[in-house]
Structure formats: C-alpha cells, structure tokens
Amino acid sequence: MKRSQPSRLLVRQRGAALLMAMVIVTVVATIASSMVWQQWRAVQVESAERGRQQSEWLLVGALDFARLVLKEDGRRVQTGGQPEPTHLAQQWAQDLKEMRLSTFLAVDKDNTDDAPDAFLSGKVSDINARYNLRNLLLISPNPGLVDVDPQQVKVLRDLFTNINLPPDLAPQIAEALRKATLAAMDTTQSFAALGGESGRAAAPLMPQRLDQLTWLLPKLGADTVERMRPYVALLPYLNVPQGGITAINVNTAPKEVIAAVWGIDTATAERIVRTRQSHYFEDVAEAQKQVPIVPIPADAIQVTSEYFEVTGILRLENQIMKNRHLVKRSGQARQIDVIVMNQERFSGVDPGN
C-alpha cells in the first residue's frame, strides 16, 4: 500500500528543518569561536602593551637613577674647592649587575604576582673616553667651508691600527663625513662645495648615532662598527658651524685611545692606565709627567667628562628591551644638570651580546 502524499511531504519538511537547524548551529558556533578568539587576542594585545609600558617605566626609572648618580658625582670637590676629576673609582662607573625584579619587590607583602621573573641590568659609560669622529672635520665659521683635518685623520689611523682595523678606513670615513656634513648644511656655499646637484645627491646621509656609520661607506659593515664602539663616538654638533675638538679623558680612556691621541705607543699608554688605577690624575700637567718627552697635543686631553652613555637592559626569558641614552652633564656645584641628548632602543630576541 502506497504512502499518501501528505506523509512524504511531512518527511521532507522534517529533513529540511533538521538541515536548517544544523546550519544555524554551525553559524552560531563559528560566530562564537570568532568572538572568543577576538576576545583572547584583545587580552593578549592588552597584556603585551601593559608589559611594554611597564618595561619602559622601569628603564626610565633606571635612567633617572643614573642621572642622579652622575649629578652627585659631579658635585664632588677636592680639598682646594676645585671640582673632582672624572675617574673610574666614582659611583657612576659601577655597573648594575643583572638582578631579579622580584628582589626589589620582596618588601611588598601583598605582591603575589606569579609572572615569569624579569631581570634588570645597566651601566654608565664615559663617552669622553672615546675618540669623537667629529674631530676629523675643520668647520669654518663661514657656512659651507668644511675640510678634513689631516692631523686628526692620522690620529684615527693610529687608533685603527691599535685595535686591528684597516687604517685606510680613516681617510675614507673622514671624506664621507665631510660630504654628509656639507649636504646637511644645505647652504649655497655647501651646495657649490659638493659640486652641484649631482654631488649633493651622491652625498651620504648625516649619521646621528654610531650605528648609522654604515650610511657613510658601503664597506663599513655593522660588525666593524661594533668593533669600533668601545673606542670611538659620534657626538652631536652643539656649535655648528664652529665645530671644535672634543678632548678625551685620560682618567677613563682605554690605552688604545690614549696612545693614538697622545702620539705614544700602546705600551706607554698601558703604563699610564696602570698608574691612574692607584690614583687618578688631578690635572693634565700631572698626566704629562708620565711622558715628559712627548708633549700632549693642544686641547686633546682633559681630566673631566661631559658626555656619558646610559644603557639599561630588561630581560624576560629570551626577550630583551635595551635602551641607550646619550646624556650631557654640565654646570658645577649645586647647579649641575644632566640632560638627555638622544636615545637608541632595541626590543626583541636576545642577540647574545
């Protein structure tokens, strides 16, 4: 006996309803999964942003602490009332070894944060202990007149020889820096000195930090710049177009820099470094007594420092955030100030250096 037409229609309607219900459930599940994923992503982004801001606050706090230490050391005076020379026995020269942040928070009994441990470290380096590459140029008060100083090129050649780098890099860096300076001046005289529009277009960009030295020469790789970092600096022009020589601090400079700037051999420079370890040099005349037969070049050596580099590093597992700040200390007695000149920032996986 055949089924009636209404019965077959009812079966088809039930099947369609079931299919529709399954489609609706699938759509709802998809929307719900999307909403959950978006909520999870928003939480992760907010957590990462909060962690980044907290890391920045910690590094800013470390910078402020370093500035305070530099101020306090700068206020020290000798028996005669003269400011104490800058030397490596002062508090600023003591590195902050890597420490767990939980160590600082241990006094907080309500702190129950079970997040992974973060580690903070830092140091302050004397930039006046390094040779300033700006010394390579003679900048005239007349705009557009920039020349390479052959005497300073010789100093840089000697320094590169002392640190086992090709000495021929010195004149190449000097010439590239001259062209970059002329292009940055952007005056009629500098335009003419570069040889017109084509010369200005071919001039390298003016580097503002040591890492940017690779802009000057194609052969100057990042690895070479890192080898140079402990011995050279690139301080900002404060009195362009007058320029001027930045002296090194004989109380803090490494032997390679002292030998190149003073014009002596590294063995003699090493003896000077050993001598200052027992007692720092109070003035340039006292340092001159170490090598009386070789006069110190004019304005090349001093016993105080103005420029320092503050490095703060925050590590969380294999992720790090590193800040470098160039600061300048000026003034005397109670009027000393430490201002930030520029900063560099690195964030990512620990490169292992």
List, for residues 275-304, the tens digit of each pLDDT value: 999 999 999 999 999 999 999 998 899 999
What is the pLDDT at residue 42? 78
346: pLDDT strictly greater than 50: yes
Q: How far apart are CA 82 and CA 282, in angstroms?
A: 10
Q: How far apart are CA 132 and CA 301, in angstroms?
A: 12
Q: With bands split at pLDDT 50, 70 and 90, how would you rate the model's confidence at 187?
A: confident
| 8 Å CB contact between 160 and 167 | yes
Give the global pTM: 0.81
| 8 Å CB contact between 169 and 232 | no
Q: How far apart are CA 134 and CA 245, in angstroms?
A: 8
Q: Which amino acid is at 240?
A: V
Helix (H, G, I), strand (E, B) or coil at 146: strand
Q: How far apart are CA 224 and CA 220, in angstroms?
A: 6
Q: Say how many Å lie between the first and final Cα of the chain, rounded.
A: 89
Q: How far apart are CA 89 and CA 281, in angstroms?
A: 12
Q: How far apart are CA 73 and CA 142, in angstroms?
A: 39
Closest to 299 (Cα-Cα) out of 346, 252, 243, 220 = 243
What is the pLDDT at residue 51? 67
Q: How far apart are CA 24 and CA 30, in angstroms?
A: 10
Q: Which of 19-28, 200-209, 215-224 has the lowest mean pLDDT?
A: 19-28
- 64: how many CB neighbours lie within 10 A of its CB? 12
Q: Where would I find the beta strands (DSSP E) of 111-247?
A: 118-126, 131-132, 137-139, 146-148, 232-233
Q: Would you say the C-alpha torsion 185, 189, 193, 196 has a positive or negative sign?
A: positive
What is the pLDDT at residue 319? 78
Residue length of the chain: 353
What is the pLDDT at residue 111? 52
